[in-house]
Amino acid sequence: MTIKHLSLLICIVILTGCVPTSIVEEVNYMKGKAYDYVDGDNFKTTISIPIYPKGEKTSGGIENGTISAIGKTSEEIEEMIDYESPRPIEDGHLNTVLFSEEILDNGIMDFLDSLTRNPQIGRTVQLAVVKGEAAPYMKFQTKGNIQPPDFIYDVLSHAMEESFPRTNIHKFLYQYYGKGMDPFLPFLTLTGDRVKIDGIALFDKDRYVGRLPYRMIFIFKMLSEGHVNGAYRVTMKDSNDDVLIETISSSIKRAFKGSIENPVVSITVDVKGVMEEAHFPIGSGEKRGANIKKIEKQFEETLQKRGLELIKQLQQKKIDPLSIGNYIRSRMRDWNKEKWETIYPEMEIQLKVNVSITGTGVSE
């Protein structure tokens, strides 16, 4: 070995020894954080930390611990939590941050600012608004001894792979600072040991302005990014029979015409799926083909009607989580934020939905 190679090896060994390490028995890894309003300017922060018993080498001995503190600023509360914790707190493992509806009356950015200034916080942290107090979401008993924040993170991540529009702290901030768009978040409920995505929390920039119910999640995703593996049920008008289409994939196209003073946006959604369940006989031959066409038409009318209702509801709230303003801005040199905000609530937005059933399953 040459002197040059020996020197390089010595440097690597020395530098490796300088990297700070954390042993799970000597630190508390914060996995989740929940914010609740208390009174006046006071709010409560609750953190979730997995507790590893000394000498325990299997996950079976891991317990969920929580620490709460009340104060007027994030810095003040973090200091109180540090004093209460028996071990140093590492926040590089944070994956879930929850907010009660009440605490968001004055906006969300003061809380996000303290998170984003921390270089250890990752871009994939999940944010959500919850029904009721947020602290219990850090404490409930999960199945399989999973830490509550990990459980919630997995629920959200799985939903975003299929039925829920994608979001996280990085996308929320992109939509907040972006032009012609507004952010949104999952809305959660907790019943016993069951956490459920129960809607979409809507924001006017950083101010929480209400939520869409669970039944509108499919429509919102259809209009914002399209589906990969969705499912939707429709009731036939002429017979009141239910039809379920699954394995739904959808794509969205937008077109713009007119001027900034009188813009018109047309949205076309193409939906493909397999009819998994129908509570009436589909038949065979020509009858089968006619029935499938009738079902396709019913789905088109239903999705189009509910899609337009959702668009109008967002316009009335003067919020744009579908990023229609950003779409027009990308196609107009003279796009103006102030002018757009006065035009958007009354502008014409057209919607056309095309449904194609590519296969059939069970019929009764």
- Annotate 203-260 with three-state secondary structure: EECCEEEEEEEHHHHHHHHHHHCCCCCEEEEEECCCCCCEEEEEEEEEEEEEEEEECC
Query: Phi and psi of 134, rounded to 5°?
Result: -85, -25
Q: Evaluate whether 243 touches 275 at the Cβ level (below 8 Å).
A: yes
Count CB-CB contacts under 10 A for residue 194. 11
pTM: 0.88
**What are the pLDDT tens digits along the chain (364 aa)?**
555 554 555 444 444 444 444 455 577 889 999 999 999 999 999 999 988 766 544 445 678 889 999 999 999 999 999 888 888 888 889 999 999 999 998 899 999 998 998 888 899 999 999 999 999 999 998 877 789 999 999 999 999 998 899 999 999 999 999 999 999 999 999 998 899 999 999 999 999 999 999 999 999 999 999 898 889 999 888 778 888 998 889 999 999 998 878 889 999 999 999 988 776 677 666 777 888 899 999 999 999 999 999 999 999 999 999 999 999 999 888 888 999 999 999 999 999 999 999 887 655 4
Burial of residue 53, with CB atoms counted within 10 A of its CB: 0-12 exposed, 13-18 middle, 19 or more buried: exposed
In this structure, the chain runs to a length of: 364
Q: Evaluate whether 61 touches 72 at the Cβ level (below 8 Å).
A: no
- Which residue spans of the chain are classified as CATH 3.30.300.210? 226-363
**Cα 280–chain centre separation:** 36
Q: Given this model, what pLDDT does residue 26 score?
A: 73
Matching CATH number, 226-363, of 3.40.47.10, 2.60.120.460, 3.30.300.210, 3.40.50.720: 3.30.300.210
Euclidean distance between CA atoms 49 and 33, whole angstroms: 9
